[in-house]
Amino acid sequence: MKKYFFRYSLEFLVIVMGISISFLIEKENANDYKEELKNQSLKRIIKNIEVDLIDLKFNYEVQTIASNAVDWLIKNNNHSNISKDSIGIYLSNAILMNTIFVDNQEEYRALQNSGLIELIENEKAVTALQNKYIYHEFYKKIEDLIIEEASFLSDFLYENTLLKNQNVIKYGYSYDRVYLFNDKIPHKVLERLKLKSQYHSFYAGRIKNRIKNDSLLIEYLNSEVLAK
């Protein structure tokens, strides 16, 4: 009787151990699969950020040009010897130049909604990733403010300048305008241009920080992907 007891106990123990090992292997495989999905998602997000960086550098240049154009107009508004061609070009740059930031959040939202973001061990990477897409919405709000100011100023531009040809600068904007009158730029227009310039300058500063932070974020995410 004792012999059979030990025999069946041993068989039962072997079965239990086998089932336990099977569960452990299955769980490990599931974890490895989730880790693989997370890393694939992070690689795609890195590619998206690299595209964002190209757009951000372009946007920074455009916003800076627009702000500098307003500064030039304010500085030279009382100078009668400034050519009308120069005034027309700077007015065009100051009023028309702006950007529309288009980002791809699909991969980040998928990572977030699937819960895979919880598998990221680098807390700096998680925080930086979350902050990035929060600030993207803020950038779009700033661009809306700039567009709103441009809509008020565009009538003055079209009524007081003439587009001499369809040539465009490398940023895609027509620039070759000539100012049609001898009058100084009206006070009201200058004041709106000053406000618009403040938006451009503020936005350019935020973009500059975003370029720095996105570059760091790529480093964090690459480290996370290569960690395992």
- Strand partners of residue 177: 163
- The pLDDT, as a whole number, for residue 85 is 94
Long-range contacts of 125-128 (CB under 8 A, 24+ apart): 125/217, 125/220, 125/221, 125/223, 125/224, 128/213, 128/216, 128/217, 128/220
pLDDT digits (tens, 9 = 90+) for 179-213: 999 889 999 999 999 999 999 999 999 999 999 99
The DSSP element (H or E) to which 155 belongs, if any, is helix 123-160
What are the angstrom distances between the C-alpha of 175 and each of 60, 92, 178?
18, 6, 9
In this prediction, residue 19 has a pLDDT band, given cuts at 50, 70 and 90, of low
Q: Give how many domains the chain has, as a whole number.
A: 1
Contact 148, 95 (CB under 8 A): no
Angle value at C-alpha 225, between 219 and 228, nearest 5 degrees: 130
What are the angstrom distances between the C-alpha of 198 and each of 7, 26, 47, 48, 194?
85, 59, 32, 29, 6
- The pLDDT, as a whole number, for residue 139 is 93
Contact 149, 195 (CB under 8 A): yes
**Is residue 25 pLDDT above 70, yes or no?**
no
Angle value at C-alpha 211, between 209 and 217, nearest 5 degrees: 100
Compare 223 and 19 and report the one with higher pLDDT. Answer: 223
**Is residue 150 pLDDT above 90, yes or no?**
yes
pLDDT digits (tens, 9 = 90+) for 108-147: 999 999 999 999 999 999 999 999 999 988 999 999 999 9
Strands (E) across 122-176 are located at 161-163
In this prediction, residue 170 has a pLDDT band, given cuts at 50, 70 and 90, of confident
**Is residue 23 pLDDT above 80, yes or no?**
no
- The pLDDT, as a whole number, for residue 222 is 94
Compare 27 and 72 and report the one with higher pLDDT. Answer: 72
Rounded to whole angstroms, how far apart are CA atoms 122 and 85?
Answer: 55
Q: Name residue, tokens 């999905």.
A: 37
- The pLDDT, as a whole number, for residue 7 is 56
Section 16-45 average pLDDT: 70
Least confident range from 51-60, 145-154, 170-179: namely 170-179
Compare 19 and 41 and report the one with higher pLDDT. Answer: 41
Residue 210 belongs to what domain range? 2-226
Rounded to whole angstroms, how far apart are CA atoms 228 and 38?
Answer: 11
pLDDT digits (tens, 9 = 90+) for 47-86: 999 999 999 999 999 999 999 999 999 999 987 889 999 9
- The pLDDT, as a whole number, for residue 16 is 53
Rounded to whole angstroms, how far apart are CA atoms 138 and 105?
Answer: 14
- The pLDDT, as a whole number, for residue 219 is 95
First to last CA, the chain: 53
Residue 39, token pair as written in the block: 């890393």
Section 37-52 average pLDDT: 94
**Is residue 88 pLDDT above 60, yes or no?**
yes
Pairing state of beta strands 177-179 and 161-163?
Answer: antiparallel
